[in-house]
Structure 1
Amino acid sequence: MLADVPPRLLYDGPVIRLLVATMLFFLAACSTPRTEVIIALDTDFDVPAEVDSFVVTVTAPDARTQVARATLGPGESPLPRATGVLHTTGPLGPFTAVAEALLGGTVVATRRARFTFVAEQTRVLEMHFLRSCQGVSCGAEESCDASGCRSVDIDPMEMPPYGGTIPGIGRGDGGVDSGMDGGPDVGVDAGPDVGVDAGECPAVCNAGCAGGQCQVLDPTTDVRCPSGMPCRIRCEGDGACPERLHCPEDGQPCTVTCVGPNSCARATDCEGASTCDVTCTGADSCAGSNNCKDAASCNITCDGPAACAGKAQCRASDCTVLCSGEGSCVGANECGLGGRCAVTCSGDRSCAAGTTCPDACACSVTCGGAMSCGTGAMCPAGCDDGAGCTSAMSCDTCP
């Protein structure tokens, strides 16, 4: 469980917390008004059946990042949840917040916001996860809220002053218990919500085993997820996860998220996983190959600039590669071994080395970005439409 201490992400020495909405923020003790943004998190998805955790990543103007996490469900603090971002020195913005709602380590929904602090004021930024946004595809500089797709840029007027409550969805605001001692600003680092006894959790799971899932954060050496349990690897810092990453080989689900610049420098191996989701949002992240051989389902998302420089070896039963970052997927995309494969090259100058899928049972290659698809696509016989492969009925021979 997360300790009940005031939230913090200090710009010149950051610490970040996720907290229960009924917490007293203890502002009265400050001689100078805080310059702070409280990020409110809520969802109308079923908890914990559809969403069982939140992750918030905040990036400062100098590219430093801090992350907060919270586990949802029985025995945990109720919704809404919040994280406080406290500014002390330096420019007031822009700061970028990426909030993720997850189920079993797999991202269910994402919200993005770019905001600027208001000097000596505490403002509230709502980043709620709505069922109405499910399946909605927004632009690179947009995020979905109750009104649909909107710009990620938040006007300060859209962040109301904090008045003692955390806004939620449809259940009323979370009130502040004014009789509760807020405690000192101890600057405790935000540790993971560990749901099992440390003795039951393999040592490689350095961020705990919440919900029976091995969680690995920023490993510095070659890491191999343990057998018999789902695995989630997250690489957040600049150059994080410099060595090879291995998912479980015994049919367990695996999630790899590379958000730090230059993170995941070597190969990610999903061979034998039941499902594998690799997301490369950091600039120049995932320089090594992503190998999905023999996985039942594999999804590789490369939306960071120049992400996924290595090959995407999509030899899974069902594989999707999305290259939306500018200059992403410069290595070849290889599909095959009789599976379904869909490759979308929507980023400018993406997929420079082309895509090969001559032995896939169904292959769709879409080249939407300027100067994308480089050398083109090697399609199954009869499925070349001149711009890429098509997944028309005549080309879909999967059993």
Structure 2
Amino acid sequence: MDLNYTAEDAAFRDTVRAFLDANLPAQLQQKVRRHLRLSKDDIVRWHRIVAGQGWAAPGWPVEYGGTGWNAVQRHIWEDECARAGTPPILPFGINMVAPVIMAFGNDAQKAYYLPRILSCEDWWCQGYSEPGAGSDLASLKTTAERDGDVYVVNGQKTWTTLGQHADMIFCLVRTDGGVRKQEGISFLLIDMRTPGITVRPIIMLDEDHEVNEVFFDNVRVPVQNLVGQENRGWTYAKYLLGHERTGIAAVGRSRRELLLLKELAMARPKHGKPLLDDPLFAAKVATLEIELMALEMTVLRVIAGEDKGPGPQASMLKVRGSEIQQQLTELMLEAAGPQGLPFDPAYLHGAAAHSAAGDDAAAPLAAYYFNYRKTSIYGGSNEIQKNIITQMILGL
């Protein structure tokens, strides 16, 4: 594909920038750029602003409320949102369960769920990982037994991101324990308000409540909430993970963070000169920037072929994207030096106008670094992704 922007692409970029300049609330922008923590209201507020413009689901078909944008336009949109510092449009509904419903759901499921996802009326979370079934997801133990017109679900999910806010969860459940483990899994849509569901917080290294354990104790789920066919959930799960891994690359966000890294390195002297003038540190930054440029080209190639559905190339994006994000946080802390050591939860949550350490740019960096240790694990660990690449791309 031609990677040079056409006049039409440039005009589209100007349209996007004008929208963001006019509609992105300054309070949300500053939270994102300063690495402060976003509330549920912050994320929903931005989603609904974008949905009001009709741009909340750039990758969806037009008949379901998508934009009709081509691959380059979708890339420009993501890139400009990252440049501006917008809150994320959460992927669990828009980019993960919605494509599965479109591809494998029935007409009633599409008619009911897709508009609610598009408007953010429903906040979704993901019920995949379990204790003992993370990278080896097919070993999951949560069961769903048919009882007339309902499934009775029992088991536990873990690392459930933002499940404390969720209205709905899409779950992999075992509906047949007598067959090969990949063949006995089904894909259920479960209302989080159903009796028998308990959400228990997991507090992470950065002291944030981002992930959870979710317990199911005789939870009764209508059979009509089964997506596709019973015991075919593994196929749907792999399809969803391809969409998730493509998004994990997060090129636009890394480009914004690279600019911040350079600003930090210019503002902090070493031996009387900016750290960025140090040849060793400058080489690290240059190497990372080259890797990011290469990743962007790969993302564009993968997105251009998405009419065939995401393939094993998504694993390449996941591996390199997550590694680059982690390297960025490492270099930021190196640039901040001792100023990156203090941990100030009040400032991170917006309860204090300025950090107690007196350096607002550096204060969130330790928490940011700790949080991004997870990127090489979620969405399928990088070790598993390398196995997929070896088997499906290299044929080994």
Same fold (TM over 0.5): no
Instruction: State the TM-score, normalizing by the size of structure 2.
Output: 0.24
Going by fraction, where is strand more abundant, 1 or 2?
Answer: 1
TM-score by length of 1: 0.24
In proportion to residue count, which structure has more helix? 2
Q: Which has the higher contact order (CA 8 A, sep 6+)?
A: 2
